[in-house]
Amino acid sequence: MTAPTVAPAAGWAPELRQAGEARFAEVGFPTTRHEEWRFTPVQRIAQGTFAEPVAAAADPAALAPYLFGQGSWPQVVFVNGRYDAARSSLAGLPAGVTVSSLQDAWLAGTDVVRAQLGRHATPAETPFTALNAARLHDGAFVHVPAGVALPQPVHLVYVTTAEAAGAQVMPRTLVVVGREGRAALVESYVSLAPGATYFVNPVTEVVTAEGCWVEHVRLQRESEAAYHVGFTSVDQARDSHYRSFTLAVGGAIARHDLVVRLQGTNTETLMYGLYLARGEQLVDNHTTIHHQQPACRSWEVYKGVLDGRSRGVFNGKIYVTPEAQKTDAKQTNRALLLSPDAKVDTKPQLEIFADDVKCTHGATVGYLDNVTRFYLQSRGIPAALATRMLTYAFCAEVVEEIAIEPVRAEVDRLVRERIGGLGA
Amino acid sequence: MLEIRGLTANVGDKEILKGIDLTINAGEVHAIMGPNGSGKSTLAQVLAGHPAYEVTGGSVRFDGRDLLDLEPEERAHAGLFLAFQYPVEIPGVTNSYFLRAAYNEFRKARGLEEADPMDFLDLLEEKLKVVEWGPEIMGRAVNHGFSGGEKKRNEILQMAVLEPKLAILDETDSGLDIDALRIVANGVNRLRRPDNAFLLVTHYQRLLNYVVPDVVHVLAGGRIVKSGGKELALELEARGYEWVDEPAGVA
């Protein structure tokens, strides 16, 4: 891991950088001896030498397919870690709403940024949040003030181009939604260089106030030779609603941690996830939900489809503190193996210290059911098509949960494409 | 149309069918009755190509072809249909998508192009009448959350769309209330033609009040032990299965 070769802009979050630098110097990269990284070896990242990314422009035609055909959505685009003003468009935002480069907002002295950045996904969370802080590039800042509802989703686009090959990118996102605010966010990680090897290490902080409603879609579509280690922290205040959908299809090693802290009563949290792995890909999802206030509800469904010699990892933690009575938490994790050489390690982890709660979890890993496939065959559908239809159906159950229709349609298309073609 | 000779089949090491002989001609309705565990459903599933069963001997000719040589989907394309005793739920696949995919595979097998979606909708509208359903059922996932009766009606709908030469109904009447039974039976009667045939596998005589069979067979211990006309079903209903002579050596 090389040190930064380009000096950061003067005054760009120096304390956070220093804290990240110090923390990473202390802990270094994890190994499989660390419980949280037991099934996810990261030597290839640790031993790699990743340069600072080269500035590049994203070809608009190449980028267009990743924008859901929604030219009117406000969007901020970062290419190889740098803000691309030409590709970003911020028209039509309601008064008081900010969508901008995080670095610009910090350097402009924006109070919300200075108060919140790095306070939720701290460098202490994981070695990779420390590294992100230490090598902070840029990223998106979204601020929705109290009482404001965004009329359209905001798209945060993190692009890597061929120029990023061999480089490391450290995107950073901060989303702050004020009391009774409403926002839909789409966070995309896309590669315009399909075979490139590079390292993306994003950290996202979502901070909600009372009564917020936040819809958050995270699409990870990196090169299949890339390393993507991401961390998302969500703080929910009382009476807030947060709904997440994460998709992971890229990365040779792809890891995402989603940590939700319920800091007020009567919240609702929905977490849906889908990953599709093939070849030698390793896709790891770690989710943690801290039920630490009474009467909060959480509902989680993660699904994975694994082909080839791919590996899946799922770890779902639900912590319920003694004061979090009347918690209602449900977690489901299902993996579908399409190949005898694919493998999944799954670990639900419930730690419950309150007595009046409803917490359930279920994990299944398996192949397609022969009887179901036979049923389709008996209706004239050939075995190979039956397999694709059933794989699609397995995914569709979570894809249907994407509430932003153009995004749902695009993920649906992507799933069909990945499972090898399926008529409309 | 269908000629079964000396058919034997196993599940694991257990022999379930111990030599079945059965001939079904076009235009006929046959019923197979028998006590639980006699092999009725096994026969139905073996004919459709269920992967859990191993055919160990005998032959099955269907329209002059060796049925046992065909994959399940090829059997379907050849005109064989099995209405499942326990129709499978397929969450995530809508009834309309499933039916259209199946219908198009049938066309493909005949060297035809895929059906125009609008033409298919017209066809579907006609077929829905067979089971007295409105179009809203088409948006639901196949059998997912369906009641027992709805699942059986859905089987009849699939049969109506795919127009098989030989339809095997595996206990389609079980678990149906009287209205659902009437709808299912009417559906079958509307689909009867001189050039197709039905094999009704049933435990009870009830369905046969509505769909009158030409021949009734009694299956016991993996063999057909008695065949007769429709009055045989009434006799079985009145006297149970015990009076039927079972072949020696079969419990």
User: B interface toward A at CB cutoff 8 Å?
Assistant: 48-52, 71-73, 75-77, 81-82, 84, 87-88, 90-93, 98, 101-102, 104-106, 109, 114, 141, 158, 162
Domains in chain A: boundaries? 14-264, 369-424
What is the arithmetic mean of pLDDT over A76-102? 94
Q: What pLDDT does A424 receive?
A: 41
Q: pTM to 2 decimals?
A: 0.88
Q: How far is B92 from chain A (nearest CA, A)?
A: 4
Instruction: Give the Cβ contact number of residue A60 at 10 Å.
Output: 11
Say whether pLDDT at A6 is over 70: no
Are B106 and A380 an interchain contact pair (Cβ–Cβ within 8 Å)?
yes
Structure tokens at B240: 């149970």
Tell me what percent of the residues of chain B surpass a pLDDT of 70.
97
Name every chain B residue with its beta carbon within 8 A of the beta carbon of A392. Answer: 92-93
What end-to-end distance do the CA atoms of chain B give, in Å? 32
Whether the Cβ atoms of residue A136 and residue A113 lie closer than 8 Å to each other: no
ipTM over 0.85: yes
Q: From the list A377, A390, A392, which residue is nearest B72 (CB)?
A: A377
Tell me what percent of the residues of chain A surpass a pLDDT of 90.
91
Comparing alpha-carbon positions, the chain A residue that sits nearest to B158 is A379
β-pair type (A268-277, A227-236)? unpaired
Say whether pLDDT at A209 is over 90: yes
Q: What pLDDT does B244 receive?
A: 72
Say whether pLDDT at A395 is over 50: yes
- Greatest C-alpha distance within chain A: 69
Q: How far is A369 from chain B (nearest CA, A)?
A: 10
Whether the Cβ atoms of residue B224 and residue B21 lie closer than 8 Å to each other: yes
Comparing alpha-carbon positions, the chain A residue that sits nearest to B91 is A393
Q: Is A377 helix (H, G, I), strand (E, B) or coil?
A: helix
Are A381 and B105 an interchain contact pair (Cβ–Cβ within 8 Å)?
yes
Instruction: Give the Cβ contact number of residue B77 at 10 Å.
Output: 19
Say whether pLDDT at A3 is over 60: no
Q: What pLDDT does B246 receive?
A: 54
Name every chain B residue with its beta carbon within 8 A of the beta carbon of A385. Answer: 101, 105
Structure tokens at A79: 């290419």
| Whole-number Å distance between alpha carbons of B184 and B242 | 29
Whether the Cβ atoms of residue B68 and residue B31 lie closer than 8 Å to each other: no
| Whole-number Å distance between alpha carbons of A185 and B203 | 58
Comparing alpha-carbon positions, the chain A residue that sits nearest to B50 is A374
Q: Residue A247 gets which letter from DSSP?
A: E
Most A-contacting residue of B88, B142, B159 (CB-CB within 10 A), to test interface: B88
What is the arithmetic mean of pLDDT over A83-92? 92
Q: What pLDDT does B187 receive?
A: 86
Whether the Cβ atoms of residue A66 and residue A85 lie closer than 8 Å to each other: no
**Contacts with B135 (C-beta within 8 Å, 6 or more apart), sequence order:** B124, B125, B128
Average pLDDT, chain B: 91
Are A378 and B48 an interchain contact pair (Cβ–Cβ within 8 Å)?
yes
pLDDT 10s digits, A315-332: 999 999 999 999 999 999
Are B75 and A396 an interchain contact pair (Cβ–Cβ within 8 Å)?
no
Are B71 and A382 an interchain contact pair (Cβ–Cβ within 8 Å)?
yes
User: A interface toward B at CB cutoff 8 Å?
Assistant: 370-372, 374-383, 385, 389-390, 392-397, 400, 423
Are A389 and B76 an interchain contact pair (Cβ–Cβ within 8 Å)?
no
Q: What pLDDT does B239 receive?
A: 81
Q: Is B20 helix (H, G, I), strand (E, B) or coil?
A: strand
Say whether pLDDT at A123 is over 70: yes
CATH code at B2-42+50-239: 3.40.50.300
Q: Residue A27 gets which letter from DSSP?
A: H
The DSSP code sequence of B142-209 is ETTT--HHHHHHHHHHHHHHH--SEEEEESTTTT--HHHHHHHHHHHHHH--TT-EEEEEESSSGGGG
Q: What pLDDT does A316 receive?
A: 97
| Whole-number Å distance between alpha carbons of A166 and A322 | 48
**How is the beta sheet containing B54-62 ordered, strand by strand?**
B14-24, B2-11, B54-62, B65-66
Whether the Cβ atoms of residue A332 and residue A304 lie closer than 8 Å to each other: no
Q: What pLDDT does A273 receive?
A: 98
Q: From the list A371, A380, A392, which residue is nearest B102 (CB)?
A: A380
**How is the beta sheet containing A358-366 ordered, strand by strand?**
A82-83, A75-79, A154-160, A182-191, A213-221, A241-248, A268-277, A297-306, A328-337, A358-366
Span of A90-99, A325-334, B71-80, B241-250 with lowest mean pLDDT? B241-250
